[in-house]
Amino acid sequence: MADLRRDDRAVTPVVAKSLAAGIALLYVAGMTGLLLGSVVPAYEETAGEELGDRVLATAAGGIEGAPPAVAGDASARRTIEVPSTIDGASYRLVLSGRTLTLEHPADGIGGETRLSLPANVTAEESTWHGGGSLVVTVSGPADDRRLSIGEEP
């Protein structure tokens, strides 16, 4: 009967709850470290690569659709909405000949595509540096149109 009157009987439930809370905390900390150490950065890199591909395809489609199909002198301007950054960094689009190139500081993000433009359209060497809408300008007579890209003024 003397054992029931001791004051240390409540220690066992407190220790059990403390251990359970400690194990749960270790689990959460371990999973957070795992996610932030490997899974999340890999996902962000993959998302950046896919966004870069979509930006390049969107810009190429807009540029290819810009030349007007009219006889005589023509002047056209087309604005294409593209994101100002990819994966948190600025990028640029370079038009060289009939090739459009996306240049980005990250290794996996970027690429180039060959443009399908009419034979009477000459693509001028030009660059869009981001930070605004991509503007495609086409002008000239029907047999020698000039196409360039740039930023919105």
| Residue extents of the structural domains in the chain | 13-151
pLDDT greater than 80 at residue 93: yes
- Residue 128: its pLDDT value, please? 92
More confident residue, 68 or 132: 68
Distance CA 4, CA 2 (A): 6
Distance CA 149, CA 137 (A): 6
How sure is the predictor about 22, in pLDDT bands with cuts at 50, 70 and 90?
confident
pLDDT greater than 80 at residue 117: yes
Q: 99, 113 in Cβ contact below 8 A?
A: yes
Global pTM reads 0.70
Question: Mind listing the pLDDT tens digit for each residue in 24-83?
Answer: 888 888 777 777 776 656 666 777 788 888 999 999 999 999 888 888 888 889 999 998
